[in-house]
């Protein structure tokens, strides 16, 4: 009974989001507004859409004094905005897509363009962003100057890379993922994204020049294995789903003053490029732990892992959180320290949740690969049956022809 009550309370809290007051805009037109903070593993996609519309002044939460909002309230607000500002779109279709944004989007970024995504399924979620006039971007890009670009420009997107890895793992009978370094010689098909060096042994990336198991494969399979090794190395070295080349590309393609939805770490956040001399990129801080920290509004996006990122306030001045003096701390370490001071139990729960999320991600990736391997095996089995049937049919035809001739 206690567990059921606890689950109910957790679900009810997860469906209600707290509001935080910030200021946004140029010096002449700066205005106060409420943004939506994210609690537990809240729907980052839907919250990002709503916060961008709030920052643009396209929707407004009233009365201003309210401290929380629900999904139903926000869905109605966004639906009314689409109805009034986008008369040509099918609002009912948009509203039917909206609930899926609360559960996470199945996005498939292309490694060659910051605004390029291949929709998964019917791609309705991407349509919702388009209808709301919100650009979706990512920085998970391969550097054209790197050795791996030769392969990744053909692999192109994440889903294809996962399928290729699973396919090659099947060809090698499970050796690709379990014994990469030992079997394939040296650095397993390349290096980290930052290094960008080629594979060992002077041959194609990822192959040793000495005799190795790859000698027994056809040229087509060798190429598949090589591309899979490079793809695996790229995914392993860019686990934050952001590269320095991608960061530079975002800084160059985004217009000053723009507000876009950034896909990173399998989440969506609000990304802003300031106008004026400071053209840095800033991510809106929506974590619930900073609800009572008015000086923590944006996080400057300065590196791919968040190690050197810093918090700033509404004026984009370095933060001075009331929770303590965090001078010299990175955004990540300040967040951990604030959580520990405010609520040690919550901090521990968050740490355990992060570890669980990491394990879940690994399980998800493993399942994806296993599913792809099964699909490959099924295709091969069907092809083998078809060839056997064709062979039997040809033999039967020869026997019949022979009888006729006799």
Neighbours of 281 (CB within 10 A): 21
Residues 6 or more apart whose CB falls under 8 angstroms from that of 214 comprise: 184, 207, 222, 225
- What is the length of the chain? 406
Contact in structure between 148 and 141 (CB atoms under 8 Å): no
Determine whether 215 is exposed, middle or buried from the number of CB atoms within 10 Å of its CB (0-12, 13-18, 19+): exposed
Q: Tens of pLDDT along the chain (406 residues)?
A: 333 333 333 444 457 899 999 999 887 789 999 999 987 656 688 899 999 999 999 999 999 999 999 988 998 898 889 888 877 777 676 777 777 676 666 788 999 999 998 865 455 667 778 888 899 999 999 999 999 999 999 999 999 999 999 999 888 888 876 654 444 443 333 333 333 333 333 333 333 333 345 567 888 999 999 999 999 999 999 999 999 999 999 999 999 999 999 999 888 999 999 987 777 899 999 998 899 899 999 999 988 887 777 899 999 999 876 655 444 444 555 555 555 555 555 555 555 555 555 555 555 555 666 666 666 677 777 777 777 776 665 555 444 343 332 3
Coil vs helix vs strand at 18: strand
Instruction: Give the DSSP letter string of 322-342.
Output: TT---TT--HHHHHHHHHHHH
Rounded Cα–Cα distance for residues 332 and 297 (Å) = 14
Confidence at residue 27, expressed as pLDDT on a 0 to 100 scale: 74
Contact in structure between 309 and 332 (CB atoms under 8 Å): yes
Report field, pTM of the whole predicted structure over 0.85: no
Neighbours of 25 (CB within 10 A): 14
Confidence at residue 350, expressed as pLDDT on a 0 to 100 scale: 55
Confidence at residue 172, expressed as pLDDT on a 0 to 100 scale: 87
Instruction: Copy the structure tokens of residue 339.
Output: 């959580």
Coil vs helix vs strand at 12: helix
Rounded Cα–Cα distance for residues 161 and 228 (Å) = 7
Neighbours of 94 (CB within 10 A): 19
Q: Is the dihedral of CA 347, 351, 354, 360 positive or negative?
A: negative
Confidence at residue 192, expressed as pLDDT on a 0 to 100 scale: 34
Strands (E) located in 50-193: 68-70, 107-109, 117-119, 136-138
Range 134-154 burial, b when 16+ CB lie within 10 A, else e: bbbbbbbbbbeebbbbebbee
Coil vs helix vs strand at 3: helix
- To the nearest 10°, report the CA torsion of 293, 298, 299, 300: -140
Strand pairing report for 298-300 and 281-284: antiparallel
Q: Contacts by 295-303 with C-beta closer than 8 Å and gap 24+? A: 295/319, 295/320, 295/321, 295/322, 296/321, 297/22, 298/272, 299/331, 301/247, 301/271, 303/244, 303/247
Rounded Cα–Cα distance for residues 364 and 370 (Å) = 10
Rounded Cα–Cα distance for residues 263 and 249 (Å) = 14
Between the alpha carbon of residue 200 and those of residues 143, 168, 188, 209, the distances in Å are: 20, 19, 8, 8
Confidence at residue 398, expressed as pLDDT on a 0 to 100 scale: 44
Place of tokens 């040296």: 186
Rounded Cα–Cα distance for residues 148 and 154 (Å) = 10
């Amino acid at each position: 009974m206690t567990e059921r009550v606890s689950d109910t309370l957790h679900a009810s809290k997860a469906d209600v989001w707290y509001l935080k007051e910030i200021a946004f805009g140029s010096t002449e037109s700066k205005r106060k507004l409420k943004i939506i903070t994210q609690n537990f593993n809240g729907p980052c996609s839907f919250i990002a859409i709503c916060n961008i519309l709030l920052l643009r002044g396209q929707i407004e939460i009233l009365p201003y004094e309210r401290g929380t909002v629900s999904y139903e309230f926000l869905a109605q607000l966004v639906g009314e905005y689409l109805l009034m500002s986008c008369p040509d779109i099918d609002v009912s279709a948009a509203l039917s897509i909206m609930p899926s944004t609360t559960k996470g989007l199945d996005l498939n970024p292309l490694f060659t363009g910051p605004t390029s995504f291949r929709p998964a399924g019917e791609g309705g979620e991407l349509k919702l962003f388009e209808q709301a006039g919100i650009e979706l971007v990512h920085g998970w890009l391969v550097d054209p100057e790197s050795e791996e670009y030769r392969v990744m420009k053909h692999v192109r997107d994440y889903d294809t890379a996962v399928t290729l890895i699973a396919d090659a793992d099947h060809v090698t009978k499970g050796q690709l993922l379990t014994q990469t370094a030992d079997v394939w010689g040296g650095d397993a098909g390349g290096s980290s994204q930052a290094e960008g060096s080629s594979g060992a042994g002077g041959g194609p990336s990822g192959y040793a020049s000495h005799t190795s198991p790859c000698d027994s494969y056809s040229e087509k399979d060798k190429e598949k294995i090589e591309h899979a090794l490079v793809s695996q190395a790229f995914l392993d070295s860019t686990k934050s789903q952001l590269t320095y080349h991608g960061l530079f590309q975002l800084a160059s393609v985004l217009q000053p003053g723009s507000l876009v939805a950034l896909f990173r770490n399998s989440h969506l956040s609000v990304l802003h490029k300031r106008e004026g001399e400071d053209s840095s990129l800033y991510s809106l801080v929506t974590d619930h732990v900073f609800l009572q920290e008015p000086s923590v509004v944006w996080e400057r996006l300065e590196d791919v892992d968040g190690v050197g990122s810093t918090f700033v306030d509404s004026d984009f001045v370095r933060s001075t959180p009331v929770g303590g003096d965090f001078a010299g701390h990175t955004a990540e370490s300040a967040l951990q320290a604030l959580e520990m001071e405010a609520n040690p139990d919550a901090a521990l729960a968050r740490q355990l949740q992060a570890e669980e999320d990491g394990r879940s991600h690994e399980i998800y990736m493993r399942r994806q690969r296993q599913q792809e391997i099964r699909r490959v095996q099924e295709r091969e089995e069907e092809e083998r049956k078809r060839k056997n049937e064709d062979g039997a049919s040809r033999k039967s035809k020869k026997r019949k022809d022979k009888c006729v001739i006799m």
